[in-house]
Amino acid sequence: MSTGSKVDLVDRRGLVLSDPQGRELWSTGSISDLAYGYMNDTGNFVIVGNNSHNIWESFDHPADTMLPTQVMARGGVINSKMGKTNFSGGRYQLRLLPDGNLVLNTRDVVTGTPDAAYYVSGTYDAANSTNSGFQLLFEATGYIFVVRASGERIYFTRKDSLPSGDYYHRATLDFDGIFTQYYYPKNTTEPKSWKVIYFEPVGNICTIKYSKACGLNNICSLDGNRPNCECPQGFSLVDPNIPNGDCKPYFTPSCDESKSSHGEDVFDFIELTNIDWPGSNFVSLGPSNEQTCRTSCLEDCFCAVAIHKDIVCGKKQLPLYNGYKDPSNNVKAFIKFRKIDGEDKSGRNLIYVGSALLGTFVLGVVVLTGVIYAGFFQIYKKGVNPFSCSATVETNLPRFTYQELVTATDGFKDELGMGAFGIVYKGVIGTNIVAVKKLETTVVQDGQKEFKAEVNTIARTHHKNLVQVLGYCDDGEQRLLIYEYMTNGTLAGFLFGGTRPSWKQRSYIAIGVAKGLTYLHEDCSNQIIHCDIQPQNILLDKYYNAKIADFGLAKLLKINQSKTNTGIRGTKGYVAPEWFRNTAVTTKVDVYSFGVLLLEIISCRKSVVFNDDAEDAAVLTDMAWDCYQEGRLDAFVENDSEALNDLEKLTTFIMVGLWCVQENPLVRPTMKRVIQMLEGGIEVTEPPCPCPLANHEKGHPDA
């Protein structure tokens, strides 16, 4: 909904929502003889007629939420929204069926037709159907229950779970399909955030039958009790605004292209672990080992994915259903992709359509299908050392010639900015705008390790808060990387460009960066230390989602390795103290850099301000500590009224920033814990002064 939209109460039209151009977006429907409307203390918007009777109530037309005193009769329904910021009708429903059973089910978004229920309350009385549930009631005291005809109450809110005190309550069918009851303190002494009292279903929604927690070809993993959906490598979201929606493949197997070639000449596999789409096999083979499973899928033109578990091989066609990731699941998934096209008799390279790109081009970046370029796919081999200095890059990202990128960038004419070891230019490949990073010739030899690290590292990563690499060039001394183009540039330009961004936007960006770092530190097969977290290396897409860029300085740690020794890396003002002590560094160097970045996001100030003589004049971490200790948060945010009106969150964010920039790396929290603190999931304790002496006097936030 655009700024300038408005709601009017219009006789014979009812309540009408219109955009700035006057176009109707929503209305209650035709209502005649209305007198006025008002919002009562329970949150119910009521339209009153000329006869002083209520003629329309919002409680009778719920969207995704119920409030205390609200009642749902048999046949009642609420629909989830589509996504966190997409308020159109979503895929999930809460219904009190005509037989009295309260259920959760998915639905067809186009037709509204309900599917099978993935949660059934059991409020239907099979022994006496006349005594089944007839009302779902959200009591004013905060309890939710179904009332049977006999007056019996079947409670969903446990009687010992409601907090004592004065709270707001709501029950929402969230966009991920979980029906959750929340509470929020009315007084000012408690943290201002919604807390969970109760939710259904209580099991692993990723594996509950009929839940469809993630869309077609998508993969579900559990984050607390919430499903987290991510497209597998080789797929991207159909709608980048709906992360739990359907994923489309970059490549679909075709029997026509396989007729004249052996499968291994044309195709290979992206290998994933602990991922399965159960129940969608069109053929099951057993006994089978991994190699025979791969070979069978290669030779089968209908096979898009092969799953090997124990001694059974399951061959699957697209689309894939009910995908989920489970670390305890001893499963390997082999996703087929087109490998290489040979040469015709005239010596010209055959063209290929599509790319075996790893990861997804999230939130508005169109997949590079339809792009026709000559080139070869190198096969990504398990166990390749990303810091080896061989002349070629071993990855299955598409490879471009230097001349092709000269053409794509119009001779490297449009400079976007500086990246690690080189300049980034705007380019066009096919119909898609891209960012091309060209390594400086003077550092090509010394920077080859960094180049190989960046290509191999990002090719293995897949997260909505990481910039996707679309291809590379390794042509003689020319080495370049092709990235998705980020419409809103760098976080540095966003924060320090003149106009102060909104506090809500800044908070959202901070949490996005934290989630991207958590993925690098904890969820990659090889742990990744970024080593250069700073505003210039955080990019913003057209929806202002933060994405971490520049993995050229990344240090990859092998499994079970927790620290590494290396030369000083990073940018002045963001470098953790341990870099200067020639000691082993860990992921905590990124935590330190994130702490500095977080304080910049909060204050819209640069971490270090220089005098004319180039000596450090002001250090943001020192200022943050002084303002926090002296209770002058208004000075730190320069009287930002929006941030000061959200004082609880502002205080939390500053405290988290101070924990992150502690001089002792053992005292800093992990990035996973940082997210929990920023989102209000755990309490943030008082941080000590981020200086050596104070670190011995107080504990740390994990204590």
| Residue 682 main-chain phi, psi, to 5 deg | -135, 155
For residue 550, the model assigns a pLDDT of 78
Superfamily of the domain at 352-484: Phosphorylase Kinase; domain 1 (3.30.200.20)
Q: Tokens 């035709």 correspond to what residue? A: 30
Catalytic residue among 532, 541, 590, 640: 532
Cβ-contact 336, 303 below 8 angstroms: yes
For residue 65, the model assigns a pLDDT of 96
Cβ-contact 59, 70 below 8 angstroms: yes
Q: Which pair of tokens denotes residue 52?
A: 């002083």
HSE-CB for 372 with a 13 A CA cutoff: 3
How many whole angstroms separate alpha carbon 549 and alpha carbon 532? 10
CATH 3.50.4.10 fits domain 219-338: yes
Q: Is 125 one of the catalytic residues?
A: no
- Who's near 252: CB < 8 A, 6+ residues apart? 304, 318
Single-letter amino acid, residue 180: T
For residue 448, the model assigns a pLDDT of 62
Q: Which of 192, 191, 198 is nearest to 683 (CA)?
A: 191
Q: Tokens 């001694």 correspond to what residue? A: 311
How many whole angstroms separate alpha carbon 657 and alpha carbon 661? 6
Question: Within 10 A of 598 (CB to CB), how many other CB atoms are there?
Answer: 27
Indicate the pairing of strand 219-223 with strand 323-325.
Answer: parallel
- Who's near 346: CB < 8 A, 6+ residues apart? none
Q: Tokens 């109707």 correspond to what residue? A: 24
For 658, the enclosing helix (H) or strand (E) is helix 647-660
Query: Block means of pLDDT (10 residues each) for the chain, length 703 residues?
Result: 81 86 85 89 92 92 94 94 85 94 91 91 83 91 91 88 86 95 84 88 89 91 89 84 86 64 72 86 87 90 91 91 85 82 31 32 34 30 29 62 93 82 87 85 56 68 85 84 90 87 93 93 81 91 88 51 50 74 82 96 85 57 93 93 93 96 91 93 90 46 47
How many whole angstroms separate alpha carbon 28 and alpha carbon 135? 24
How many whole angstroms separate alpha carbon 149 and alpha carbon 405? 73
Q: Which of the listed CATH numbers 3.40.50.300, 1.10.510.10, 1.10.760.10, 3.30.365.10 matches domain 491-696? A: 1.10.510.10
Superfamily of the domain at 65-200: Bulb-type lectin domain (2.90.10.10)
Indicate the pairing of strand 527-529 with strand 478-484.
Answer: unpaired
How many whole angstroms separate alpha carbon 206 and alpha carbon 285? 26
Peptide bond into 243 cis (omega under 30): no
How many whole angstroms separate alpha carbon 8 and alpha carbon 671? 46
Return the domain boundaries, the chain: 6-60, 65-200, 219-338, 352-484, 491-696
**Sign of the dihedral defined by the CA atoms of residues 203, 208, 210, 214, in that order:** positive
Q: Which of 246, 250, 268 is nearest to 382 (CA)?
A: 268
For residue 339, the model assigns a pLDDT of 65
* Dihedral, 529, 532, 535, 540 alpha carbons, nearest 10: -50
Which phi-psi region, left, alpha or beta, contains residue 176 (left: φ > 0; alpha: ψ -120 to 50)? alpha
How many whole angstroms separate alpha carbon 644 and alpha carbon 638? 10
- Who's near 477: CB < 8 A, 6+ residues apart? 441, 444
> Distance between alpha carbon 5 and the CA centroid of its chain, in Å?
29
Single-letter amino acid, residue 460: R
